Amino acid sequence: MPSTVLVGAQWGDEGKGKITDLIASDYDYVVRFQGGNNAGHTVIHGDKKLALHLMPSGVMYEDAVPVIGNGVVVDPGVLVKEMAMLESEGVSCKNLRISGDAHVIMPYHKDLDGADEKRLGSQQIGTTKRGIGPCYQDKMGRKGIRIQDLMDEKIFRLKLETVLAQKNPVLERIYGLHTYTVEEICDEYLPYAQILRKHVAETGQLLNDALREGSSILFEGAQGTLLDIDHGTYPYVTSSSCCAGGASTGTGVGPKAIDRVLGIQKAYITRVGGGPFPTELKFPEEGGVGQDASDGELLCEAGHEFGVTTGRKRRCGWFDAVIARYAADVNGLTDVALTKLDVLSAFDTIKVCVAYECEGRRYDYFPMQQSVLFHAKPIYEELPGWKDIDITDCRAYEELPEATRSYIEYLEEITGVPMSIISVGPDREQTIMRGW
Residues that bind ligand IMP (CB under 6 A): 12-13, 38-40, 125-128, 130, 132-133, 222-223, 227, 236, 238-239, 272-273
C-alpha–C-alpha distance, residues 200 and 152, integer Å: 12
CB of 79 to ligand IMP, least distance (A): 17
* Terminal-to-terminal C-alpha distance of the chain: 10
Residue nearest to ligand IMP (CB): 273
**Quick one: which of 410, 268, 406, 420 has its CA closest to 342?**
268
C-alpha–C-alpha distance, residues 151 and 200, integer Å: 9
43 or 65: CB nearest ligand IMP: 43
Q: Nearest 5°: CA angle at 206, between 199 and 97?
A: 20
The alpha-helical segments, DSSP class H, found in 285-344 are: 290-302, 321-331
179 or 310: CB nearest ligand IMP: 310
CB of 278 to ligand IMP, least distance (A): 16
CB of 82 to ligand IMP, least distance (A): 15
130 or 146: CB nearest ligand IMP: 130
CB of 25 to ligand IMP, least distance (A): 23
* Maximal CA-CA distance, the chain: 66
148 neighbors 100 (Cβ within 8 angstroms): yes
209 catalytic? Reply is no
CB of 274 to ligand IMP, least distance (A): 6
94 or 304: CB nearest ligand IMP: 304
CB of 228 to ligand IMP, least distance (A): 10
21 catalytic? Reply is no
116 neighbors 86 (Cβ within 8 angstroms): no
C-alpha–C-alpha distance, residues 408 and 352, integer Å: 11
203 or 309: CB nearest ligand IMP: 309
204 neighbors 29 (Cβ within 8 angstroms): no
Give me Rg for the CA atoms of the chain: 22
Catalytic residue among 13, 28, 295, 335: 13
**For 395, left (φ over 0), alpha (ψ -120 to 50), or beta?**
alpha
C-alpha–C-alpha distance, residues 30 and 5, integer Å: 10
Phi, psi of 49 (to 5 degrees): -105, 125
259 neighbors 219 (Cβ within 8 angstroms): no
Catalytic residue among 21, 41, 109, 149: 41
C-alpha–C-alpha distance, residues 221 and 407, integer Å: 27
58 or 134: CB nearest ligand IMP: 134
Catalytic center residues? 13, 41
